[in-house]
Copies of this chain bind each other. A is one copy, B any other.
Amino acid sequence: MSRKNNETRTRILEATVRVLEEHGGRGVRMGDIAKETGISRQAVYLHFASRAELLNATTTYLDEVLDLERRLAPSRAAKCGVKRLALYIEFWGNYVPEIYGVAKALLLAQDTDEAAAAAWQDRMLAMRDGCRAAIKALHSDGKLAPGWTTKRATDVLWTMLLVPNWENLTVECGWSTQQYVRWMQTIAQRTFVKE
C-alpha cells in the first residue's frame, strides 16, 4: 500500500543523502542511488519523476530530518541584532556541512537541468531572508555600520554565506567548521556592526 510506498521513498532519500555525501555531490548517477537503496534504477522513477525532483526532495527531506526550524529558533529569538547576526551565522555554518553533498549536486546539475537551477535558486532565496532579518535587526538597534543600506548589507552577508565559500575554506584551506563559524562571525562583526 501507500505505507510500503512511503517506506521505499524514504529509503531512496536516505540512500541519496548517503551516496551524495560520500562523493561530495560529484558524479552521482541515478543508478548509483538505486544500487545504494537496493532497488532497480527504474524503480526510483516510480517515486521521483526526474533527477532534479529527487535532488530537490532530498533537500526538503534533510530540512525535516535535521530539524531546520529548531535550529533556526535561537537566532530568531535573539534579543539584539548583534546577537542575532552571530547566531544566524552559527546556525548556517553548522548546517552547511550537513547538506553539503546534496547542495553541491544541485549546484552542479544547473549545467543541464533547468529545474535543478530553479530549486537551488529557491533555497538560496530562503537563506537570503534569514540574512535580511539579521541585518534588519541590526539596523533597528541602530547598530548597522555607517555606509550600509539594509539591501546592500543583506546582499553582502548573503554572498559571504554562500556554500562555495564554506567549501573553499574547509575543503581547500583545511579550516574546521568551528573555525569557519568563528571567523565568519568576526568578519561580519567588523563589516556590519557599528564601532
Contact = CB atoms under 8 A, between A and B. Distances in A.
Interface of A: 26-27, 108-112, 117, 124, 147, 152, 155-156, 158-160, 162, 164-165, 168-169, 172-173, 175, 183, 186-187, 190-191
Contact of A152 (B159, B183, B191): B183
Given A26-B110, A27-B111, A169 B190 contact: no
A191 B191 CA distance: 7
The copy count of this chain in the complex is 2
A159 B168 contact: yes
Contacts of A110: 26, 108
Contact of A108 (B111, B158, B162, B169): B111
Contacts of A152: 183
A153 to B, nearest CB: 10
26 contacts: A26-B110, A26-B111, A27-B112, A108-B108, A108-B110, A108-B111, A109-B111, A147-B186, A155-B173, A155-B175, A156-B169, A156-B183, A156-B187, A158-B168, A159-B165, A159-B169, A159-B173, A160-B165, A162-B164, A162-B165, A162-B168, A164-B164, A164-B165, A165-B165, A190-B191, A191-B191
Nearest to A166: B159
Given A159-B169, A164-B164, A164-B165, 12 more contacts: A26-B111, A27-B112, A108-B108, A124-B172, A147-B186, A155-B173, A156-B187, A160-B165, A162-B164, A162-B168, A165-B165, A190-B191
Contacts of A172: 124
Nearest to A159: B168
Contacts of A147: 186
